[in-house]
Copies of this chain bind each other. A is one copy, B any other.
Amino acid sequence: MSSRKHKIERKNLGTSPGTLQYIGLPLDNQIKITRIDFTLEGHQKKIIQNYSEASPSTTGITWLNIDGIHKPEVIAEIGRLYQLHPLMQEDILNTLQKPKFEFFGENTLFIVLKWLEYNPHTREVEPEHVALVLGPSWVLSFQEERSRDIFEVIRKRIEAGAGKTRQNGADYLLYALADVVVDQYFRVLDCVEENLDRLEEALFKNAEQKHLEEIYTVKRELGVMRKVVTPLREITLSLSREAPLNGQSLISANTEIYLRDLYDHINQVNETVELYRDQMTSLMDLYNSTISNRLNNVMKVLTIISVIFMPLTFVAGIYGMNFEYMPELHWRYGYPFAMGLMAVMVVIMLLWFRRKHWL
């Protein structure tokens, strides 16, 4: 298990549902709230210090990015401004919450995702909690304040006026944010694949115990990835299918095509994870077979040596006996005879081994 997960205590067990509590890594940084308002014509960026500045704009599209979710009071304040359901707020604060999507009424769509970061030192895939809320003309994005602001790239795109983000509505922005998260999965998969290739090559050369432990680790991390990616598939599929039914005002037909594309990417991630898991199992089998193969070879060497030297040593033992009346000992050619006998035995053994294809 990731050591990180262990530090997270499920404090809220036993409390009334909907009670706001942060469940995650203990953090104490400042929470940074960035607001961008944009229309086709222009955009305005602001670091928010005061909650009164956070309320949704009446013209254009508002994107509020909350970088840090470890302070329940901040989430509660945002929740009050945007009228978020208590259960939604609870899920935003719970970094153990798995990916999901939910419509709250006809005007609010809530999505939980996981950003993945590959840690090359521990060789672990570390998930970070991301929550997105889509309203009629606003998008809220919540992220754990850990590595960095993962949505920086989108902000730059909006500022540059490039891309389609500014030409489209809030629903396209939601898609763009999710797309950033999914693109990261490909990068993590590339790291995993590199590991896999390295392991494969190493195993074909020389199978060692440490490879075994690496296979186990990679497999476990793929299990973690699967747990994160699989629900996403269902989410995007449902979004692109059900959207026009449940949230006509939320998701436009234009964005739907992009959601289908996103679904496609997630599907590809998912299948690659499965393919790699399959290959890890095959690698494990290969490892085991290689080991038993090698054992076989070791035992052959031992057996050949024993089969050759045991009879020889026995013959030497015979003529090492101290009986008074042993005619051979007094023969002139006793010694050469004994040596010849041994040589004949060795030849017979070798022929026998050859016939058994051991040599």
Residues of A at the B interface (CB closer than 8 Å) are 1, 6, 10, 13-14, 16-19, 85, 87, 97-98, 100, 102, 104, 153, 157, 162-165, 176, 179-180, 183-184, 186-187, 190, 193, 196-197, 200, 204, 206, 209, 212-213, 216, 219-220, 223, 227, 257-258, 260-261, 264, 267-268, 271, 275, 278-279, 282-296, 298-303, 305-307, 309-314, 316-326, 328-335, 338-339, 357
Q: How far is the CA of A19 from the CA of B163 in the complex (A)?
A: 8
**A89: shortest Cβ distance to chain B, in Å?**
12
Q: How far is the CA of A98 from the CA of B213 in the complex (A)?
A: 32
A17 & B306 in contact (Cβ 8 Å cutoff): no
The listed residue (B220, B307, B319) touching A322 by CB distance below 8 A is B319
B310 & A305 in contact (Cβ 8 Å cutoff): yes
A290 & B320 in contact (Cβ 8 Å cutoff): no
**A300: shortest Cβ distance to chain B, in Å?**
6
Note all chain B residues with C-beta closer than 8 A to A310. Answer: 305-306, 309-310, 313
Q: How far is the CA of A162 from the CA of B18 in the complex (A)?
A: 12
**A119: shortest Cβ distance to chain B, in Å?**
18
| Contacts known (A220-B279, A271-B227, A291-B296); A187 close to B13, Cβ less than 8 A | yes
**A343: shortest Cβ distance to chain B, in Å?**
12
21 residue pairs from A and B, CB less than 8 Å apart: A10-B190, A13-B183, A13-B186, A14-B153, A16-B162, A16-B164, A17-B176, A85-B257, A98-B271, A216-B285, A227-B271, A292-B292, A298-B300, A310-B310, A320-B320, A320-B321, A320-B322, A321-B322, A322-B322, A322-B329, A323-B334
B319 & A220 in contact (Cβ 8 Å cutoff): no
| Contacts known (A16-B163, A183-B14); A302 close to B301, Cβ less than 8 A | no
**Additional A-B contact list (17), CB under 8 Å, known A302-B303, A316-B318, A325-B334:** A13-B187, A16-B162, A100-B264, A212-B293, A216-B285, A288-B289, A299-B302, A299-B303, A303-B305, A305-B310, A306-B310, A309-B314, A318-B339, A323-B328, A323-B338, A324-B329, A326-B335
Chain A binding surface, main DSSP class: helix
The listed residue (B13, B283, B314) touching A316 by CB distance below 8 A is B314
Q: How far is the CA of A184 from the CA of B10 in the complex (A)?
A: 11
Q: How far is the CA of A320 from the CA of B18 in the complex (A)?
A: 88
| Contacts known (A100-B264, A323-B329); A212 close to B286, Cβ less than 8 A | yes
Q: How far is the CA of A13 from the CA of B339 in the complex (A)?
A: 70
Q: How far is the CA of A234 from the CA of B289 in the complex (A)?
A: 37
B284 & A285 in contact (Cβ 8 Å cutoff): yes
Note all chain B residues with C-beta closer than 8 A to A312. Answer: 314, 317
